[in-house]
Amino acid sequence: MTDPETRVSNRFLAALSPEDFASPEPGLTKISLGLGETIQRIDDNVDALYFPESAILSVVTMMADGRGVESYSIGRESGFGLLNCLGARSAFSQIVAQVPGESWTLPVVRLKAAADKSQAIRNLIVRHAQAQAAMSEQSAACNALHQVEARLSRWLLLSQDRAQSTHLPLTQEFLGFMLGVRRTTVTVAAQSLSATGLIRYSRGRLEILDRGGLENASCECYATVNRRYAELLGESPTSDRSAD
C-alpha cells in the first residue's frame, strides 16, 4: 500500500497510517465543487464526508429568515462530517463551497467502520473536531467584537492559506453572506483595503497584493486560529503555504 502522504494533500487523510488508510481508501472519490455549491443542508443526514484538496468549504449557520453567517471554514487541513462518524448523523449547518476546487468524498460508513477498529483514527477525528470547534468559537467572538475590515482581512488570509493562491474568485454578495453583513458593507471594507494597496478587486475576482499588510490589517483572530491548529494538530492551516 502506497503511503497516503504520497497519494493525497488533505492533511487528515495524509495523517492516517498506511494500515488505517487502506480501509477507507476504496471508497474515496475525487470530485470538483463549484463556487457556492451546497453539499449539505441543515437537518439532512450526513452520508458523505468531504476532504478538500484545493476547494474550501464554509460551515454556515442559517436563520429562519434565510440569513446566514459562516461559523468556520474547512480547507485541505481537515474535513467535513468527521464527528458524524462517531455520533448523530444529522447536519446542524449548511455546507457550501467557499472557493471552488477539488475535494475527496467518502461515505460516512467507510470511515466509521475504520474508526471502530482503530483508536488512532478515533483520536485523529477528535483532535480535528477540537480544532474546528476552536475556530468556530474564535469566529463567533470575532464577528461580535471586531470591525468588518479586520474580519474581512482575517477571512481573506485564511482563504489564501487554504487555496494556496493570491487569486480568489469571490463576489461581494458571497463575501457578505459569509461575514453576515450587507453587500454594501463589504463594498466599503473592500474599497478600504484596495485603497491602501492590500488587495485588488474587480468583477468577482479578488487578488491579494500585500500579504504582510493584510496581516497587519487583520484582527488577532487570524494568529489565534493558527496557534490553536498548531497546538491540536501539530501544524496550522498556513503550513507549506505557497502562492501563485
Domains in the chain, start-ordered, CATH in brackets? 4-118 (2.60.120.10), 142-233 (1.10.10.10)
Supply the pLDDT for residue 71. 86
Taking residue 214's Cβ as centre, other Cβ atoms within 10 Å add up to 21
Query: pLDDT under 70 in the chain at which residues?
Result: 1-6, 235-244
Supply the pLDDT for residue 48. 96
Compute CA 214 distance to the chain's CA centroid, rounded to the nearest angstrom. Answer: 19
Supply the pLDDT for residue 63. 84
Exposure on the CB side of residue 233, measured as CA atoms within 13 A: 30
Supply the pLDDT for residue 5. 59
Give the whole-angstrom CA distance, residue 30 versus residue 24. 14
Compute CA 211 distance to the chain's CA centroid, rounded to the nearest angstrom. Answer: 19
Give alpha helix (H) positions in 94-238: 108-117, 119-145, 148-163, 172-179, 183-195, 211-217, 221-233
pTM score, whole prediction: 0.86
Supply the pLDDT for residue 3. 64
Distances, alpha carbon 64 to alpha carbons 47, 105, 148, 182, in Å: 24, 29, 24, 17
Supply the pLDDT for residue 4. 67
